[in-house]
C-alpha cells in the first residue's frame, strides 16, 4: 500500500500493480506449505513430502497441516476418534443427492451437497469463534469421504453404505464405495495404503486456484461449508483438479504406444496441450509425481499392469527428451500418474476430482483458518484497471437507431 503514495498529482490514485492471475503477487503470509518449483521441493510445515508419504498416515498429515506439528500418540488417537465420530451424514443429505439425475457428475454432486451442509449446520457461521471453527473442521474432514462415496453410489444406483468406525480413513472410504452384501468389508491393505499416500500427496499445495477460492470466499466470513463448496468448484476445472480425468481421456484418444510420437507432434504444433504436463509453479519434476510412481508399482502388483501405463511411460519418455518440452520446462505433474493409478484401483474417471477433494479439504481448511486468524487479512477485493467508456449520457430508445 505504500506504493500508493507515489502519485503524479493530487488527483492521481497512486501507483498500483497490475498482475493478472497473481503471477507475481503474494496474497498472504503462510506457514503451511513450502514449494520450490525450480528445485521440485514440496514440504508441509517443513517436512518433505517424501518422508510424510512414507512414514505417516493421512490423518496424521491433516493434523500437521492444520495444527502445525505432527501429533504424538495420544493426540493422534484422540484426533482419529474425533474425525471418526463425525463421519455420519445427516439423513437429509441423502435427499439432496436423490434429487440429482443418475448421470450427474460426482464432482457437481459433491460441490452442491457440501454447500447444502451449510444449512444443516447453521452454527458454522460463527467463523470468528475458534471452538466452532474446530468443530466444523472435524465435521468437514470426517464427512467428505462419506459424501464422496455417496455421490458414487448414487451414480451407479447402489444403496448408500454407512461409515464403519472400525476401519481407518482410507479403508472406511473404500467400504462406503464398494461394500456389497458382505457383512464386513475387507479392504485390500496395499490399495488402502496407496490411497492413503495419494491423500497425503494431495493434502495441500499452498496458494493454488482452489485454496485461493477458499480464502477469497472465506474472507467475506462466509461459513466453511460454503467456502469449501467454492473451493470444490475451483478444483473441478480441467486446468486444476480435473486434469487427471483429462489425462485418462487423452490416453484413450492416443490408443496405443506406437501412436505417441504423432500425438506429441500435434501437441508441439499447438493443437492441444499434453494433459498432466506442465505446472504454474513446478519447472522441474513434480515431487509428488515421483512418490506416485513408486506407489503405482505397488498398486500394479495387486491389480495387474494397466495398458494405459505403457502409453503414459512412452509419452513421458519422449516428452522428457523433446526440445519443445525441455525448453519450456514441462515435466509430468501429479495428475499424470494419479489417474492411471486410480483407474487400476477401480475408480471411474468421473470420480478422480472427488478423490482429490477429500484430502485437499484438510489443506483448504488450514488455509481458511490461517486467513481468518491473520490480523493483516481483510475481505479479498482486487483492484482493476478500468478500460471502459468515459461518462456518457443515455440516449432515449427512439433516438438509438436501428
Ligand X SMILES: CC(C)(COP(=O)(O)OP(=O)(O)OC[C@H]1O[C@@H](n2cnc3c(N)ncnc32)[C@H](O)[C@@H]1OP(=O)(O)O)[C@@H](O)C(=O)NCCC(=O)NCCS
Site of interaction with ligand X (CB under 6 A): 239, 243, 267, 273-280, 328, 330, 333, 335
Instruction: State in angstroms the smallest separation of the CB of 260 from ligand X.
Output: 14
User: CA–CA separation, 309 vs 342, rounded Å?
Assistant: 12
Q: How far is the CB of 392 from ligand X (least distance, A)?
A: 37
Q: Are 167 and 184 in contact (CB under 8 A)?
A: no
Q: How far is the CB of 350 from ligand X (least distance, A)?
A: 17
Phi-psi region of 167 (alpha: psi -120 to 50; beta: other; left: phi over 0): beta
Q: Select 85 or 266, whichever has its Cβ closest to ligand X.
A: 266
Which residue has its beta carbon closest to ligand X?
278
Angle between helices 352-372 and 189-201 (to 10 degrees): 40
Catalytic residue among 196, 204, 286, 335: 335
Q: Where are the beta strands (DSSP E) in 132-279?
A: none
* Catalytically annotated residue among 154, 202, 279, 286: 279
Residue (223 or 314) nearer to ligand X, CB = 314
What gap in Å lies between CA 240 and CA 358, rounded to an integer? 15
**Measured from the CB atom, is 39 or 280 closer to ligand X?**
280
In sequence order, the 6+-apart residues with CB closer than 8 A to the CB of 287 are 40, 41, 42, 48, 49, 50
Closer residue to ligand X (CB): 31 or 239: 239
| Residue 258 falls in the annotated catalytic set | no
Closer residue to ligand X in complex, CB, 322/374: 322
Minimum CB distance to ligand X, residue 269 (Å): 10
User: CA 105, CA 108: separation in Å to the nearest integer?
Assistant: 5
Q: Are 176 and 145 in contact (CB under 8 A)?
A: yes
Catalytic residue among 240, 310, 322, 374: 240
Measure the CA–CA gap between 28 and 209, rounded to whole angstroms.
14
CB atoms within 10 A of CB 249: 14
Residues 6+ apart with CB under 8 A from 102: 154, 155, 157
> Whose Cβ is closer to ligand X: residue 224's or residue 242's?
242
Q: Minimum distance between the CB of residue 118 and ligand X, rounded to whole angstroms?
A: 28
- Min dist CB 143 to ligand X, Å, is 26
- DSSP element (H, E) containing 293: helix 287-303
Q: Catalytic site residue 335?
A: yes
Backbone angles phi, psi at 41, to 5 degrees: -110, 135
Distances (CA, A) of 315 to 183, 261, 318, 337: 44, 8, 5, 12
Closest to ligand X by CB, 86 or 360: 360
Closest by CA to 275, choosing from 301, 254, 300, is 254
CB of 80 to ligand X, least distance (A): 30
Residues annotated as catalytic (active site), given as ranges: 240, 279, 335
Amino acid at each position: 500500500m505504500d506504493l500508493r503514495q507515489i502519485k503524479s498529482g493530487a488527483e492521481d490514485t497512486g501507483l498500483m500493480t497490475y498482475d493478472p492471475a497473481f503471477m507475481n503477487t503474494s496474497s498472504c503470509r503462510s506457514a503451511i506449505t513450502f514449494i520450490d518449483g525450480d528445485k521440485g521441493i514440496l514440504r508441509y510445515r517443513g517436512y518433505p513430502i517424501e518422508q510424510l508419504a512414507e512414514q505417516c498416515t493421512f490423518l496424521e498429515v491433516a493434523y500437521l497441516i492444520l495444527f502445525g506439528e505432527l501429533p504424538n500418540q495420544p493426540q493422534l488417537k484422540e484426533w482419529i476418534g474425533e474425525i471418526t465420530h463425525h463421519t455420519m451424514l445427516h439423513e437429509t443429505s441423502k435427499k439432496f443427492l436423490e434429487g440429482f439425475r443418475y448421470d450427474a457428475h460426482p464432482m457437481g454432486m459433491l460441490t452442491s451437497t457440501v454447500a447444502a451442509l451449510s444449512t444443516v449446520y447453521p452454527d458454522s457461521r460463527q467463523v470468528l469463534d475458534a471452538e466452532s471453527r474446530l468443530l466444523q473442521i472435524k465435521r468437514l474432514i470426517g464427512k467428505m469421504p462419506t459424501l464422496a462415496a455417496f455421490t458414487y453410489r448414487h451414480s451407479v444406483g447402489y444403496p448408500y453404505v454407512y461409515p464403519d468406525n472400525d476401519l481407518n480413513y482410507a479403508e472406511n472410504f473404500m467400504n462406503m464405495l464398494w461394500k456389497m452384501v458382505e457383512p464386513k468389508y475387507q479392504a485390500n491393505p496395499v490399495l488402502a495404503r496407496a490411497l492413503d499416500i495419494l491423500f497425503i500427496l494431495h493434502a495441500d499445495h499452498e496458494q493454488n486456484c482452489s485454496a485461493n477460492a477458499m480464502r477469497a470466499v472465506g474472507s467475506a466470513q462466509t461459513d466453511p461449508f460454503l467456502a469449501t463448496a467454492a473451493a470444490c468448484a475451483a478444483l473441478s476445472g480441467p486446468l486444476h483438479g480435473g486434469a487427471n480425468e483429462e489425462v485418462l481421456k487423452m490416453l484413450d484418444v492416443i490408443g496405443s504406444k506406437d501412436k505417441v510420437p504423432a500425438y506429441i507432434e500435434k501437441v508441439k504444433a499447438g493443437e492441444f496441450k499434453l494433459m498432466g504436463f506442465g505446472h504454474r509453479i513446478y519447472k522441474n519434476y513434480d515431487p509428488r509425481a515421483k512418490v506416485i510412481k513408486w506407489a503405482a508399482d505397488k498398486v500394479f502388483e495387486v491389480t495387474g499392469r494397466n495398458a494405459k501405463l505403457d502409453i503414459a511411460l512412452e509419452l513421458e519418455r519422449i516428452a522428457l527428451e523433446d526440445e519443445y518440452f525441455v525448453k519450456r520446462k514441462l515435466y509430468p505433474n501429479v495428475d499424470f500418474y494419479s489417474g492411471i493409478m486410480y483407474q487400476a484401483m477401480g475408480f471411474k474417471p468421473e470420480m478422480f476430482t472427488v478423490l482429490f477433494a477429500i484430502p485437499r479439504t484438510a489443506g483448504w481448511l488450514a488455509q481458511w483458518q490461517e486467513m481468518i486468524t491473520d490480523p493483516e487479512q481483510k475481505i479479498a477485493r482486487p483492484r482493476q484497471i478500468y478500460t471502459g467508456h468515459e461518462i456518457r449520457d443515455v440516449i432515449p430508445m427512439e433516438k438509438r437507431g436501428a
